[in-house]
Copies of this chain bind each other. A is one copy, B any other.
Amino acid sequence: MNIGIIGLGLIGGSIAIDLKNKGSDWRVVGADQNPAHAAQALALNMVHEIRPISDVIKQADLIVVATPVNSLIHLIPEILSQINDHQTVVDVGSTKWPVVQATEQHPKRARFVAAHPMAGTEYSGPHAAVPDLFVHKCCVLCNPRDSAPDALDTARNFFELLGMRIVALDAREHDLHVAYVSHISHIASFALALTVLEKEREENRIFDLASGGFSSTVRLAKSNPDTWTPIFQQNRDHVLDVLDEYINTISRFRTLLIKRDFNTFHQLIRHANDIRRIIG
């Protein structure tokens, strides 16, 4: 099977690595509009070959589009206009409603499967790609009834091959869901990093940040703005709702400190501990 991967960063690159490791059934052809990234992917032996995007679209049985979400909404309809009824297109973006809307009226809509493999790290580019990134993680397929059954099967088999669990979800529900479980975590981390960096500037000294739990909460603050700004742009309304709730909750802790109500403070922490039930 010929797989074309457009965009060879963290996600596209990690997919390429896993497929190449699966053996000779898979021929992995890559494309990246950034020539340096394309050259890196080839040098790192992540793909069998690099081709122009137009060739990848012509030749691949399955076309995986792994570009930032602002590019997806233009690129997916363009690709759909160039393929035949035996080819399948999937995206891997973190927001799903905008790309579903952008393809809604397209005559080839049924060849497209809107997907979000929920895996990643705070790093980006071909050098960030790692094997087995997707194993045991969740892949959301959105509005599956808008895809042809055979396209859906191709996408499902593909993500299962990567080791993922498949979940079907309405695109708008998905976008609200990720505002809670991913997007707000990123803003919390960015703000934490900025708060400490500002203090460091004022105090003109380096804090020892390797300890004290700071590293894990701030890890996501290393995330690429080119990837994340379009995600926040597309998911603005949901993120604003969650952000308001988050600010309210933080403000509750503030009020309890001001009132020195440490009994309620203790109860709130105990309640937060309940997250163990969900993340183990």
Contact = CB atoms under 8 A, between A and B. Distances in A.
A216 to B, nearest CB: 5
Contacts of A240: 254, 257-258
B197 A217 contact: no
9 contacts: A137-B210, A181-B196, A186-B213, A188-B191, A207-B278, A221-B275, A236-B260, A240-B257, A243-B250
Interface stretch (A24-32, A143-151, A222-230): A222-230
Q: Which of A220, A224, A276 has the most CB of B within 10 A?
A: A220
Given A240-B254, A257-B236, A208 B222 contact: no
A270 B197 CA distance: 12
Interface string A167-209: 1000000000110111011111111111111111000001111
Contacts of A236: 257, 260
Interface of A: 118-120, 122, 136-138, 167, 177-178, 180-182, 184-200, 206-226, 228-229, 232-233, 236, 239-240, 242-247, 249-254, 257-258, 260, 262, 265-276, 278-279
Given A185-B217, A247-B247, 20 more contacts: A118-B212, A122-B213, A136-B210, A138-B211, A193-B272, A193-B273, A194-B268, A199-B242, A199-B245, A213-B219, A215-B279, A221-B275, A223-B269, A229-B262, A229-B265, A229-B266, A232-B257, A232-B265, A240-B254, A243-B250
Q: Which of A216, A260, A270, A272 has the most CB of B within 10 A?
A: A272
A203 to B, nearest CB: 9
Given A257-B232, A262-B233, A217 B214 contact: no
A178 to B, nearest CB: 6
Main secondary structure of the interface of A (DSSP, over half): helix
Contact of A273 (B180, B188, B225, B271): B225
Contact of A254 (B213, B243, B252, B254): B243
Contacts of A260: 233, 236
Contact of A180 (B199, B221, B262, B269): B199
Contacts of A138: 208, 210-211
Given A187-B250, A198-B245, A257-B239, A207 B177 contact: yes
A119 B212 CA distance: 6
Nearest to A251: B247
Contacts of A273: 193, 221-225
A232 B252 CA distance: 14
A121 to B, nearest CB: 9
6 closest Cβ contacts across the A-B interface? A182-B212, A118-B211, A225-B269, A193-B275, A190-B272, A193-B272
